[in-house]
Amino acid sequence: MPERPTTVAIAIDGVDVEAYQGETVLQCARRHQVDIPSLCFLEGVSTMGGCRLCVVEVAEDPRLRPACATTVAADMEVTTESPRLRSYRRSIIELLFAEGNHVCAVCVSNGSCELQDIAVRCGMDHVRYELRSPRRHVDASHPKYVFDPNRCILCTRCVRVCAEVEGAHVWDVAHRGHGAELVTELHQPWGEATSCTWCGKCVAACPTGALSHQGSAVGEMRHAPNMITWLVAARQRGEWTEPEARR
């Protein structure tokens, strides 16, 4: 019989809850049905902490702390919703929309997009910043998938899933700052990437319309990030073996 994990008492939005020692604030909050928005976090792969949407307030700390990368501590008091946090998150979403070409009406993931959902949740009905509207060319060279960098928010879910779950290392981030972009095999067209296994895990993990299936129309595209979480958990429990192990 497995040992029960050590627990600590913390407070989330004024409610006392039981947290497992070593887990993050985001994991604890979601176990207790407290939904903290996030775009770069994906259960089952390494934590990036880059989107900063999951920031929370911790008592006696003036900084905003990323819930996905903050480990719980005994007697910690966490606030997940406040005017300060709402303003901060809305600004991030607006900056993401201003940085790319997120015209939702023509996006393949319209109606099934985490970025769109969080924008609605944050009450974002317009963008206060100047739109950059960069010219980014769609890569449709792959026989099965399409990469539209205009929809990419550089959450790196695809990079981490491809490297840590599939082990193919097809995706990476090139350059820095406003010039940062996703690339396949040192900037080769996706269709020429010999390391790509066509598994589709990167497409399943994508929170926007950046990665999609060839031929998918608006409203048809459905991502499945929970599939990645299930797959990793099944492997850890020994319920899934790779084809090489079965031979």
**Taking the chain, what is the end-to-end CA distance rounded to the nearest angstrom?**
32
The answer to whether residues 132 and 208 belong to one domain is yes
Q: Do residues 173 and 182 lie in contact, with contact meaning Cβ atoms separated by under 8 Å?
A: yes
The answer to whether residues 124 and 202 belong to one domain is yes
What residues contact residue 202 under an 8 Å CB cut-off, 6+ apart? 145, 157, 158, 161, 162, 170, 171, 211
How far, CA to CA in Å, does 238 sit from each of 176, 224, 235? Answer: 39, 22, 5
DSSP, collapsed to helix, strand or coil, labels residue 212 as strand
* Cβ neighbours, 10 Å, residue 72: 24
CATH number, domain with residue 163: 3.30.70.20
**Token duo for residue 52:** 């900063």
Q: Of 205, 220, 212, nearest to 139 (Cα)?
A: 212
Q: Which of 81, 112, 147 is the last residue of a domain?
A: 81
DSSP, collapsed to helix, strand or coil, labels residue 44 as coil
Residue 2, in any domain of the structure? no
Q: Of 104, 108, 105, 106, nearest to 221 (Cα)?
A: 108
Residue 246, in any domain of the structure? no
pLDDT of residue 132: 87
Residue 88, in any domain of the structure? no
Residue 136, in any domain of the structure? yes
pLDDT of residue 246: 36
Residues in the chain: 247
Q: Of 144, 139, 150, 136, nearest to 190 (Cα)?
A: 139
Domain assignment of residue 234, given as a range: 98-239
The answer to whether residues 110 and 226 belong to one domain is yes
The answer to whether residues 136 and 43 belong to one domain is no
What total number of domains does the chain contain? 2
Encode 90-126 in three state secondary structure: HHHHHHHHHHCCCCHHHCCCCCCCHHHHHHHHCCCCC
pLDDT of residue 244: 43
The answer to whether residues 148 and 37 belong to one domain is no
pLDDT of residue 108: 87
pTM beyond 0.75 = yes
Residue 122, in any domain of the structure? yes
* Cβ neighbours, 10 Å, residue 52: 15
pLDDT of residue 245: 38
Is the CA virtual torsion 198, 202, 206, 210 positive or negative? negative
Q: Which of 48, 81, 114 is the last residue of a domain?
A: 81
**Token duo for residue 192:** 């020429």
The answer to whether residues 68 and 175 belong to one domain is no
Tell me the pLDDT of the chain (247 aa) as tens digits.
557 778 999 999 999 999 999 999 999 999 999 999 999 999 999 999 999 999 999 999 999 999 999 999 999 999 999 999 999 999 999 999 999 888 888 888 888 899 999 999 988 989 999 988 888 999 999 999 999 999 999 999 999 999 999 999 999 999 988 889 999 998 999 999 999 999 999 999 999 999 999 988 777 778 888 888 888 888 888 876 554 433 3
The answer to whether residues 228 and 122 belong to one domain is yes
Query: Residue ranges of the alpha helices (H) in 104-242?
Result: 114-121, 157-161, 201-205, 225-236
pLDDT of residue 77: 97
Q: What digits encode the pLDDT tens for the residues 80-93?
A: 999 999 999 999 99
Task: Give the type of residue at 132.
Answer: R
